[in-house]
Amino acid sequence: MVRNFNLVIEHQCPQCGAPADLKETDRLFVCEYCRVNSCLLPRDYFRYLFPKSVSAKKNLLFFPYWRFKGMLFSCLPTGIEHRFIDLSCQAVESAYFPTSVGLRSQALKLQFVSPESEGRFLQPVLPLRKALRIYEKRFNTMMSNPTFHKVFIGETISLIYSPFYVGSKLYDGILDKPISSILPSNFETSLSTEKRPGQYLRFIPALCPDCGWDLNGRAESIVLNCLNCNSMWLSTGNGLKKLKFGYIPGKESNNVYLPFWRINADITGIKLQTYSDLVKVANLPKAVQKNWNDIEFNFWALAFKVRPQNFVRIAQQITFKQPQEISFSKISHADHYPVTLPMEEAAQSLKISLASFMKPKDFILSELQNIKIRPKKILLVYIAFQENHHELIHSEFHVSINKNMLSLAGNL
């Protein structure tokens, strides 16, 4: 698997025009010059293009590639298999254009596609799902059979357009060199180009919709907070949406707040409504106590990205604890780790989470298809972890998270 990386996008501040480099994962842009903060709100996914070489002045044709990054979990008879996938593949099937973006996206800066982008843009007629299936077939290592359940979680999808131009041959617009033999005469008419690119991305000032104060958060966070009116805001394609939140504060100092989604769900096909059900389903080494029947079961999922193996482990450790003491207090001034995994993505992980702790495994996995989990109530909960040299630790929940692992997860 290729080492994952973050695209770099050159951009101009929407307020003052100063140039800036953004990371693919950035959702809040803080201009170093005018200090104005903006939220990046893509309509569905980001669309980028490679600028052409200076010498290539011809009528440019932009060819689309899907870029996909995400975790794939598969439940197999042997257990849960996971892998991290980072790939680019054609969004139009063509034998003339290169099959992927290749290493370019690591070496060259990109730009956002906007209505002002010059050139003709080929329509991405191959749906991503189909492109992924072609990819699966080509590598054929991803699916061992039978698979009881398979899901992508935390995926980032974008389109990358690469410039070409057409003469007697097809030319690469970055290298300014031919990349094909002689083209058939109907080549150009066989391509379906889009109308002008639309407004796919909005930059809106990062101000609290309720009180107008500056919103705070780290660049890659999809949740920003307002310390003035004590509100939290989720950035979505339609704008900022107010979010309910809670805290599980720590007893010590040196705290970092890690974000989790507490998800209450309708579960059918297995009895899992209370804490005592959980103890039975997971075969926890505990004697069930009477009042555990009154404690409602909730899934706990991560609201931040980590490598797949850690994702399952941490979710399981918190879910086993079923934390109850959530306070709905004021926003803390302590460091908030950025929310990078949307609640919809976290909700998709619940079956994997269940499969990871159900016992006995062989019976359960074959039953998995009959189990339905429908999320009902979702709450963002920040849990205080104590920070030491190498780790973030929650001693009561028995969770430790390696800081190095977290910083590497910044590219996922």
Contact 17, 105 (CB under 8 A): no
| 379 bridge partner residues | 262
Buried/exposed 115-143: b ≥16 CB within 10 Å, e otherwise? eebebbbbebebebeebbeebeeeeeebe
Q: CB of residue 175 vs Zn ion: minimum separation in angstroms?
A: 33
Q: CB of residue 31 vs Zn ion: minimum separation in angstroms?
A: 3
Number of residues that bind Zn ion (CB under 5 A): 14
Q: CB of residue 209 vs Zn ion: minimum separation in angstroms?
A: 8
> Please, which residue, 226 or 381, has the CB nearer to Zn ion?
226
Q: CB of residue 212 vs Zn ion: minimum separation in angstroms?
A: 7
> In whole angstroms, what is the distance from residue 143 CA to residue 76 CA?
9
Using the rule CB under 5 A, which residue among 15, 111, 264, 332 binds Zn ion?
A: 15
Site for Zn ion in 22-41 (CB under 5 A): 31, 33-34
> In whole angstroms, what is the distance from residue 392 CA to residue 262 CA?
20
> Please, which residue, 86 or 210, has the CB nearer to Zn ion?
210
Site for Zn ion in 356-375 (CB under 5 A): none
Return the axis-axis angle of helices 308-321 and 350-357, rounded to nearest 10°: 70
Tell me the Ramachandran region of residue 239: left when phi exceeds 0, alpha when psi lies from -120 to 50, beta otherwise.
left
DSSP string computed for 160-189: EEEEEEESSSEEETTTTEE-SSPPPTTTTT
- Residue 313, phi then psi, degrees to nearest 5: -60, -50
Site for Zn ion in 219-278 (CB under 5 A): 226, 228-229
> Please, which residue, 35 or 83, has the CB nearer to Zn ion?
35
> Please, which residue, 241 or 271, has the CB nearer to Zn ion?
241
Site for Zn ion in 206-225 (CB under 5 A): 208, 210-211, 213
Q: CB of residue 203 vs Zn ion: minimum separation in angstroms?
A: 11
Choices 8-16, 276-284, 292-300, 343-351; region in contact with Zn ion by CB under 5 A? 8-16
> Please, which residue, 175 or 211, has the CB nearer to Zn ion?
211
DSSP string computed for 271-318: --SBHHHHHHHTT-SSPPPGGGGGSB--EEEESS---HHHHHHHHHHH
Q: CB of residue 214 vs Zn ion: minimum separation in angstroms?
A: 9
> Please, which residue, 231 or 353, has the CB nearer to Zn ion?
231
Q: Kindly write out the interface string for residues 280-309 of this chain, putting x where it contacts Zn ion by CB under 5 A and - elsewhere.
A: ------------------------------
Q: CB of residue 17 vs Zn ion: minimum separation in angstroms?
A: 7
**Tokens encoding 74:** 């598969």
Q: How far is CA 129 from CA 126, 133, 347, in A?
A: 8, 6, 20
Chain residues that interact with Zn ion, rule: CB under 5 A: 13, 15-16, 18, 31, 33-34, 208, 210-211, 213, 226, 228-229
